[in-house]
A and B are shown apart, each in its own frame.
Chain A
Amino acid sequence: MAQPSTDQVWDWLDAVPDPEIPVISVVDLGIVRDVAWAGDTLTVTVTPTYSGCPATSVIAMDIETALRDHGVRQLELKTQIAPAWTTDWLSTKGRKKLEEYGIAPPNPAGGPKHCPRCGSASVEKVSQFGSTPCKAHWRCTDCLEPFDYFKCI
């Protein structure tokens, strides 16, 4: 088969869901830093979100499985820690999908702009940590629903 273009590979990766938050892709999450061909070998560079995030190894396995299913034979997955991952790398599409899913997207002001369910700006922090390393636990004081906030780092 002809060597797929890197644009094609990016499209394929954009269909690989994050294992913990399946509504966004690994590309939306901003952790795929580079896709390049070196001769016959495809190199995909990935950066971890949090250094101890247990999803990191599952993500590497999912990327590898997806690309092999698309016929990529020689694949090298590289881990890169610098520059450190930041939530600034979340895609606009990813932010929108997070909100629709009920997770408030990261906000440089340090907390969610509004409740992802009812839109009220009356929200309060329950805990600095949530169900995964990348989230904190908040609640809406109008509709009273608890929700996850994607921490801004």
Chain B
Amino acid sequence: MADRDAFQQFLLRMGDNTLVLGHRVSEWCGHAPVLEEDIALANTALDLIGQTQMWLGLAAEVQSEGKSADDLAFLRDVWDFRNVLLVEMPNGDFGQTIMRQFLFDAWHSIMLTRLRSSSDARVAAIAEKASKEVTYHLERSGDTVVGLGDGTEESHQRMQAALEYLWPYVGEMFASDAVDAAMASEGIAPDPASMRADYDDLIGRILSAATLTLPDARFARKGGRDGRMHTEHLGHLLTQMQWLPRAYPGASW
């Protein structure tokens, strides 16, 4: 694989993760259980979509086919998306949304910290900017996981169910392939497998404070970050997210 192609794939993975999760979280806007949570979720979504503009903007620049970040976000179909399956999973109840956010934020914060010393100055600059926002996201999702996990019997049971439902999607974030090997050898990005120990430490600490039990199984569902097989949920998400620019090409306001 040519290095430019690998770099492009890496950037799509970063940008598609934040795009798809940003869209998912924005689905809560106007529906959250209390006003403060509604605002918090909307702000988190906004940060993620802002980060998407930077990652996909750079992906489009590297691709140099005259496309924009918007073209990449709105005019690709399911098989061209490179996000991990975890972020396309449906919101479920509030607990499941928060658990998904926590499992992603923990990975995201470790990844961005490593990327701050990327050999590519543009990647390092985006990571520096995004990591400030993500540190804040992790603080909030971690606190909320503890609050709900170590909360009432009902909230505890829902958080444990969310953890068990989402756990099989965690492993994909640490599965290395040829793209990762190319990025690691050029010092652009870390080998994801090398982040697993830090991740297990971090989530172990918080889940234990939340009185939640980590499932034993290490089976991992994969297929998102290489585009081989997304879940059926992504297609439904894209029909919502993409319909306007597809129905009215070039629309602006």
A residues 78-122 in Cβ contact with B at 8 Å: 81-85
Indicate whether A133 sits within 8 Å of B47 (C-beta atoms), given known contacts A84-B132, A151-B136. yes
Are the CB atoms of A52 and B39 closer together than 8 Å? no
Question: Which of these, A81, A127, A129, A133, contacts B129 with CB under 8 Å?
Answer: A81
Question: Which of these, A53, A83, A130, contacts B39 with CB under 8 Å?
Answer: A130
In the bound complex, how far is the Cα of B133 from the Cα of A84, in angstroms? 11
Are the CB atoms of A128 and B136 closer together than 8 Å? yes
Interface assignment of B48: CB less than 8 Å from any CB of chain A:
yes
27 A-B interface contacts by CB (under 8 A): A48-B50, A50-B50, A51-B47, A51-B50, A51-B54, A51-B129, A52-B45, A52-B47, A52-B49, A52-B53, A81-B129, A82-B121, A82-B125, A82-B128, A82-B129, A83-B128, A84-B125, A84-B129, A85-B129, A126-B36, A127-B36, A128-B40, A128-B139, A129-B43, A130-B39, A137-B36, A153-B132
What is the number of residues of chain A that contact chain B, defined by CB distance less than 8 Å?
21
The residues of A with any CB-CB pair to B shorter than 8 Å are 48, 50-54, 81-85, 126-131, 133, 137, 151, 153
Set of chain B residues within 8 Å of A129, measured between Cβ atoms: 36, 39-40, 43-44, 140
Set of chain B residues within 8 Å of A137, measured between Cβ atoms: 36, 39
Interface assignment of B98: CB less than 8 Å from any CB of chain A:
no
Set of chain B residues within 8 Å of A84, measured between Cβ atoms: 125, 128-129, 132
Set of chain A residues within 8 Å of B133, measured between Cβ atoms: 50-51, 153
Interface assignment of B51: CB less than 8 Å from any CB of chain A:
yes
Indicate whether A81 sits within 8 Å of B47 (C-beta atoms), given known contacts A51-B54, A129-B39, A153-B132. no
Q: Which 4 A-B pairs have the closest CB atoms?
A: A52-B50, A51-B50, A82-B125, A127-B36
Set of chain B residues within 8 Å of A50, measured between Cβ atoms: 46-47, 50, 133
In the bound complex, how far is the Cα of B129 from the Cα of A130, in angstroms? 20
Are the CB atoms of A81 and B54 closer together than 8 Å? yes
Are the CB atoms of B47 and A127 closer together than 8 Å? no
Set of chain A residues within 8 Å of B43, measured between Cβ atoms: 129, 133
Are the CB atoms of B53 and A131 closer together than 8 Å? no
Closest residue on chain A to residue B53 by CB atoms: A51
Set of chain A residues within 8 Å of B128, measured between Cβ atoms: 81-84
Set of chain A residues within 8 Å of B37, measured between Cβ atoms: 127
Sorting the interface of chain B by its residue count into under 10, 10 to 19, 20 to 34 or 35 or more gives 20 to 34
Set of chain A residues within 8 Å of B44, measured between Cβ atoms: 129
Are the CB atoms of A52 and B48 closer together than 8 Å? yes
Closest residue on chain A to residue B47 by CB atoms: A52
Closest residue on chain B to residue A83 by CB atoms: B128
B residues 120-151 in Cβ contact with A at 8 Å: 121, 124-126, 128-130, 132-133, 136, 139-140
For the complex with contacts A50-B47, A82-B129, 16 further pairs of A-B residues with Cβ separation under 8 Å are: A48-B129, A51-B54, A52-B46, A81-B54, A81-B125, A81-B128, A82-B125, A83-B128, A84-B129, A126-B36, A127-B39, A128-B140, A129-B39, A137-B36, A153-B132, A153-B136
Closest residue on chain B to residue A133 by CB atoms: B43
In the bound complex, how far is the Cα of B140 from the Cα of A51, in angstroms? 18
Set of chain A residues within 8 Å of B36, measured between Cβ atoms: 126-127, 129, 137
Set of chain A residues within 8 Å of B47, measured between Cβ atoms: 50-52, 133
Closest residue on chain A to residue B136 by CB atoms: A128
In the bound complex, how far is the Cα of B36 from the Cα of A66, in angstroms? 36
Are the CB atoms of A53 and B46 closer together than 8 Å? yes
In the bound complex, how far is the Cα of B50 from the Cα of A31, in angstroms? 17
